[in-house]
Structure 1
Amino acid sequence: MDTRIPGFAGIVALGLTLLSRPASAHVDYVTEGPGDALDALDFALSVLSDPVNAAIFGVSGLAVTGGLAAYIWIRPTIADIVILRDVLVGYSDLVPWMLRLSVGLPLVGAGFQGYLFAPTVTFDPSTNPVARVLFIGLGFTLLFGLATRIVTTIGLLTFGWALSVDPGVVLAMEYVPAFLALLILGGGRPSADHMLQQVAGTDGTYYSRVDPVHHLKGFLDVTTARYREYVPVIVRVGMGVTFVYLGLIQKLADPGRALLVVEKYDLTAVVPVDPGMWVLGAGLTEMLVGLVLIAGFMTRGAAAVSFVLFTTTLFGLPDDPVLAHITLFGMASAVFTMGAGPLSFDDWFGRPAGADQETGVSAD
């Protein structure tokens, strides 16, 4: 495990989260209609032209940078952290279960409430029962872990179809890496797939005589085994891209819409700073967390910070749809469990002295 977790989580949560708290929601989920048409660059420059705002950003940036540099310089190999890392690695076989829950629950909710992945892209369940049954069926079969790879393939195709119907579905892009990870891992355990495979794979059982597909599942497990080590990469990069999109496109590139959130919830009464500071703070924080995840730098710490952002959002914005964030919560849990994986700064440079390479994710 990365020994910099406490330092990263503590420093960033203290230095940046105050500026991004409830404003870190999906803006489209809690606002109606467009905000004022504001040029993004002019808006940022106007906010930072205020000496007080510039001082807050400057001091915060120096504090975070200095704290991270100091921690990296003095980081010791702490036995507690090494033990925690080993414990988390031992949970790797539960990652498919985490991802199934985080995708299955919101899909069931989407089917009952009538929306295509993103709560802003709605349909009428009474006039479109096929879509309702599809989403509820996908959700429940994933929760049970039944035919997981087949179901996730259907889920990916459904997401592609929904995106072609309404580009607004891109707000729920976190489904894609979660589906891809499950396509590689399968249902894992506990799951109906694992249970039935154990019964079907035992000679002399009645079920082994009638199950026509358990041999296929065994073949797929073997075939996908070589890709399991890249599941942490898929999940953290997918989560990172989502954060960058939310920070850059939803906030920094559309400050007028983001300001509606600040006004709607009177966020300046929570922390008395300029409304523009809320928007810039939220956007830059989400982009920073996203880029850190994509690079695989202090990865478990970034996952911990994302928990802080999600939690303060849900408590701070009472009408923000909870189901819309469950997938990101589950992905953050998976990233915290798995770590950065290969193709990451943590893997190349951040390994604690004397620590072994972290093992890939197990599907069983």
Structure 2
Amino acid sequence: MQQSRVALPRSLPSGRGPAHVDYVTDGPGEVMDAIAFLADVLSDPLNAALFAVSGLVAAVALAAYLRVRPTIEDVVVLRETLAGYTDLVPWMLRLAIGLPLVGAGFQGYLFAPTVAFDPAANPGVRLLFISLGFCTLFGLATRIVSTVGLLAYGWALTVDPAVVLALEYVPVFLALLILGGGRPSADDMLQAVASTEGTYYGRVDPVHHLKEFLDDAAEPYRRYVPTILRVGMGVSFVYLGVVQKLGQPGSALLVVERYDLTAVVPVDPGLWVVGAGVTEAVVGLALIAGAFTRGAAAVSFLLFTVTLFGLPDDPVLAHVALFGIASAVFTMGAGPLSLDERFGRPALGEAPVAPAAD
């Protein structure tokens, strides 16, 4: 895994194009013109035919699903069941970034595993990440911690732009800023004790009234949490597909060669790169548009799983946040400002897309 060890607090450019392939390669691949590479791959008749047939099969499968979906009661039941899990979304999101933040602090990297720092030389940064992680896991002062996390991410981007690899932290922090810790969480537990008349803790706790105020202030924005999460994950997918694979085919080809992926699916290495890049870009665009959102989230979950087990050198912690955000999007669906909301079939008695105030 290629790492750029940064000296803190001095800002240093990364000197390379950031991409998830950096997690499993020892250096940048051959610099190649992306447009010329794409044209060269698809100019091969066999590659062009395989690419076209794959797209046609996907289009036919999608059309068939749209035709038979009104007759599939399973979809309605599934959506009803998932709607009942929305109160657990803050807990999912806290686990999704809490564990990686603790890992980042102990292992010494700024959000993305490729952007390393020396923990011994920067104990304050290490303590910051570990504290953010544990507070997030426990759900303690969740909105304050999320605000600090967003500021820390912005600062890390100025230290090394390669932190953009961990872009998924941003929508999760924003969602937690709106939702709070949810339940189960330390915030919910302490709020219950502090708001009960006659408790000793209620007499000394100076902040539980602030939480009530923040809950009320955030209430109008809760319905947009699914939108924030799916768009955030969609942008990450488009970035990974377009910039990582289609934009930097030399580095992506290194991954295909290193893991002998052509032995798994016997096609041209270039077609491997193009197919993977286009697939990620299409999934990302579907998420951004809110089209077939739960299906796109399920596909993304499958892609993360294949990557995790298919590329054994890929760091596990680099994918925990992505697994968590995909799970949350699959649970809540598209939310407002989406094609699914405008044209989709609602589940019978579907619950609100975001949990009610604590």
TM-score, normalised with respect to structure 1: 0.91
**What amino acid is the match of 2:352?**
T
Contact 1:341 1:358 in 2 (8 A): no
1:44 aligns with 38
Residue 170 in 1 paired to residue 164 in 2? yes
Aligned partner of 1:328: which letter? L
Return the offset for 1:80. 2.5
Is 1:99 the counterpart of 2:93? The answer is yes
Query: Which 10-residue stretch deviates more, 333-342 or 31-40?
Result: 31-40
> Once the two structures are superposed, what CA deviation does each residue of 1:187-206 show, in whole Å capped at 9, x if it has no partner?
00000000000000000000
8 A contact 1:299–1:340 mirrored in 2: yes
Q: Is 1:159 aligned to residue 148 of structure 2?
A: no
- Structure 1 unaligned residues grouped into runs of 5+: 1-24
Q: 64-73 or 161-170: which moved more?
A: 64-73
What is the 5 A alignment of 1:5-84?
A: 26-84=20-78
Query: How many angstroms does 1:32 deviate by?
Result: 2.2
Question: Corresponding residue for 1:199?
Answer: 193
Pair 1:286-2:280 in alignment:
yes
Listed one character per residue, the Cα deviations across residues 277-313 of structure 1 (whole Å, up to 9, x for unaligned) are 1100110000010000001001001111011100000
Match of 1:246 in 2: 240
Q: Separation in 1 of the partners of 2:59 and 2:77? A: 28
State how far apart, in whole Å, the 1-side matches of 2:65 and 2:199 are. 58
The question of whether the paired residues in 2 share the 8 Å contact of 1:144 and 1:191 is answered with yes
Please, which of 345, 352, 363 is the counterpart of residue 339 of structure 2? 345
Match of 1:131 among 122, 125, 128: 125
Instruction: Write the distance in 2 (CA, Å) between the matches of 1:111 and 1:288.
Output: 34
| Aligned partner letter, 2:283 | V
1:30 Cα shift? 1.1
Higher relative contact order (CA 8 A, sep 6+): 1
- The count of residues paired between Structure 1 and Structure 2 equals 339
Taking structure 2 as the reference length, the TM-score comes to 0.93
- Counterpart check, 1:227 vs 2:221: yes
Structure 2 residue ranges without an equivalent (≥5): 1-18
Q: Is the 8 A contact 1:200 1:211 kept in 2?
A: yes
Residue 354 of structure 2: aligned partner: 361
Post-superposition offset of 1:350: 0.9
Identity rate, percent: 73
Secondary structure of the corresponding residue to residue 168 of structure 1: helix
Note the aligned Cα RMSD (angstroms). 1.2
- TM superposition shift of 1:128: 0.7
**1:201 is matched by which residue type in structure 2?**
S
Partner of residue 265, structure 1: 259
1:82 offset after TM fit, Å? 1.4
1:249 Cα offset (Å): 0.4
Matched, 1:309 2:303: yes
